[in-house]
Amino acid sequence: MKTSHIIISIIISFSFLCFIPKTEPSHSPTPSPSHQFTKNELMGKINPQKDIHFVKIEKSYTTKTNIYLREGAYNAYKNMYKSAKNEGLTLNIISAFRSFYHQKRIWESKWTGKRKVNGQDLSKSIPNIYKRAETILHFSSMPGSSRHHWGTDIDIYDLNNSTFETGNGLKVYKWLQNNASKYGFYQVYTANRPFGYEEEKWHWSYLPLAKPMINTFNKLINNSDFNGFLGAQTADSLQIKQHYVNGINQECL
């Protein structure tokens, strides 16, 4: 083959390679430590369907529909699920990401008495707004302060502590206590803490992402940022940031 023909062949081959379209991953990798979390992200004012860091949870891992987690947390959960399954236990996600607006609906339904708390209409039984807020805060976060806004936290199996004290629920809880940390998950609301929510044996947080998020939360957000919902004026007096956002299992800080 002549030298001129070789040169032409090389040029054609190179031109073809230059025009091969690059394929982009459907989702970006887990945010690095340098990722700058915004106030909107930390307070749940985002749409996970349009956020490249989130993925939809597949039906095999949840009984819910259309719920999301950050990709890193979800991948870790799937590994944990598989390990539990191999030991005869089936985990099940019953809650994951919740937006500010979803949390607002939960909070205000309890605030107005539309949703009963311990069988009571709190708008009638507790007229004092600070005591009413404290009662709701036993198990429900103020909008903007929930860890579920971050896409790093999940509720597993059931929303009653008593379920995890006997039978299969106890087996699941014991397994999580012994194994969840291997996959980055920790129980956030443990027993015998001086402040914060009641114990939640079902609530587990993916710390490789949640720790940098709470650190940024503490830098960017103050109690005055909790607004736009009924009862928001109680946030500062009740020290939501200090006693609830940070009143958690110390391993999670």
Instruction: Give the CATH number of the domain where residue 162 resides.
Output: 3.30.1380.10
pLDDT of residue 35: 76
Q: How far apart, in whole angstroms, are the C-alpha atoms of residue 123 and residue 142?
A: 16
Q: How far apart, in whole angstroms, are the C-alpha atoms of residue 149 and residue 153?
A: 8
Report which residue type is found at 120: Q
CB burial class (10 A; 0-12, 13-18, 19+) of residue 156? buried
- Per-residue pLDDT of the chain (253 residues), as tens digits, is 444 444 444 334 444 333 333 333 334 445 555 579 999 999 999 999 999 999 999 999 999 999 999 999 999 999 999 999 999 999 999 999 999 999 999 999 999 999 999 999 999 999 999 999 999 999 999 999 999 999 999 999 999 999 999 999 999 999 999 999 999 999 999 999 999 999 999 999 999 999 999 999 999 999 999 999 999 999 999 999 999 999 999 999 9
DSSP summary character for residue 244: I
Domain span including residue 44: 39-252
186 lies in some domain: yes
Q: How far apart, in whole angstroms, are the C-alpha atoms of residue 247 and residue 75?
A: 27
11 lies in some domain: no
190 lies in some domain: yes
181 lies in some domain: yes
Q: How far apart, in whole angstroms, are the C-alpha atoms of residue 72 and residue 76?
A: 6
141 lies in some domain: yes
User: Roughly how many angstroms between the first and final C-alpha of the chain, as a whole number?
Assistant: 70
Total domains present in the chain: 1
109 lies in some domain: yes
The residue assigned the tokens 């302060």 is: 145
pLDDT of residue 31: 54
135 lies in some domain: yes
pTM, 2 dp: 0.86
Q: Label residue 115 left, alpha or beta by phi (over 0 means left) and psi (-120 to 50 means alpha).
A: beta
4 lies in some domain: no
